[in-house]
């Protein structure tokens, strides 16, 4: 899906401009095509074995967003945003093995032997349920961050939300057991600036090991 490259900002500008916006202009709508472009960009995030451990539920429109509102503890941004995307982690991403690797084998980019070796590694890892859950969260989070950066690059504001009732979300929106809710992301145009925030100095978040 082609993206309009006019006035595209460099990645460091996007990173520095992105902040968590909680107040949106509710009169502004977002198109399905723009949401698809953001999701497509999110889907290019890296993932373990390239299994792409994510699934996106797009919640858009007054009726759908009002269903989500009490589940997200009545945070007004849920209904003021132009859309909300729920990022789910795939607990059974091992089932993607053939879909991911068979095209590579057919195109001659990977041998069948290498594919079978990788498939055995994946199957062994997914015998551990804790690994499957950890992988679902960590890999889906990579896609979530990429989605927010893509949104900012296109001029939209976002906010990741961890404060919601995951069990109620699963029940209300009939989420298959294969998936676990990781976060909600509101998307829209800011009606008020984001809260000012600071970041820890690099010395506080970095350890250098050179020998």
Q: Is residue 41 part of a domain?
A: yes
**Residue 54 reports pLDDT greater than 90:** yes
Q: Is residue 202 part of a domain?
A: no
Q: State residue 17's pLDDT score.
A: 87
The residue-averaged pLDDT of 28-38 equals: 97
Q: How would you classify residue 174: left for phi > 0, otherwise alpha for psi between -120 and 50, otherwise beta?
A: left
Q: Is residue 114 part of a domain?
A: no
Q: Is residue 97 part of a domain?
A: no
The residue-averaged pLDDT of 14-31 equals: 93
Share of the chain above pLDDT 70, in %: 96
Q: What is the C-alpha R_g of the chain? A: 19
**Residue 1 reports pLDDT greater than 60:** no
Q: State residue 194's pLDDT score.
A: 82
**Residue 5 reports pLDDT greater than 60:** no
In CATH, what number is assigned to the domain containing residue 65? 3.40.109.10
Number of domains in the chain: 1
Q: State residue 7's pLDDT score.
A: 58
Give the integer Cα–Cα distance in Å for 78 and 72.
8
Q: State residue 197's pLDDT score.
A: 87
Give the integer Cα–Cα distance in Å for 78 and 73.
10
**Residue 3 reports pLDDT greater than 50:** no
**Model confidence pLDDT, tens digit, residues 8-18:** 678 899 988 88
**Residue 187 reports pLDDT greater than 60:** yes
The residue-averaged pLDDT of 13-27 equals: 92
Q: Is residue 129 part of a domain?
A: no
Taking all residues of the chain, what is their mean pLDDT, rounded to a whole number? 95
Share of the chain above pLDDT 90, in %: 87
**Residue 34 reports pLDDT greater than 60:** yes
Q: Is residue 112 part of a domain?
A: no
> How much is the pTM?
0.92
Q: State residue 196's pLDDT score.
A: 85
**Residue 134 reports pLDDT greater than 70:** yes
Q: Is residue 27 part of a domain?
A: yes
What range defines the domain where residue 182 resides? 19-90+137-188
Q: Which residue has the higher pLDDT, 197 or 173?
A: 173
Give the integer Cα–Cα distance in Å for 40 and 43.
5
């Amino acid at each position: 899906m082609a993206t309009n490259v006019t006035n595209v900002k460099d990645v460091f500008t996007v990173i520095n401009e992105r902040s968590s916006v909680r107040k949106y202009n509710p009169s502004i709508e977002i198109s399905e095509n723009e949401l698809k472009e953001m999701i497509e960009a999110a889907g290019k995030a890296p993932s373990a074995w390239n299994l792409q451990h994510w699934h996106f539920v797009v919640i858009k429109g007054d009726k759908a967003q009002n269903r989500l509102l009490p589940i997200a503890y009545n945070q007004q941004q849920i209904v003021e945003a132009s859309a909300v995307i729920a990022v789910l982690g795939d607990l059974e991403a091992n089932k993607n093995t053939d879909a991911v690797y068979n095209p590579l084998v057919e195109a001659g980019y990977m041998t069948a032997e290498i594919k079978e070796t990788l498939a055995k590694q994946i199957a062994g890892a997914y015998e551990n349920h804790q690994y499957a859950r950890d992988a679902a969260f960590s890999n889906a989070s990579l896609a979530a961050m990429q989605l927010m950066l893509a949104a900012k690059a296109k001029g939209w504001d976002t906010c990741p939300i961890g404060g919601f009732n995951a069990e109620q979300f699963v029940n209300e929106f009939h989420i298959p057991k294969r998936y676990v809710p990781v976060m909600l992301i509101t998307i829209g145009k800011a009606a008020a600036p984001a809260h000012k925030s600071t970041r820890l100095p690099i010395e506080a978040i970095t350890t250098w090991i050179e020998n």
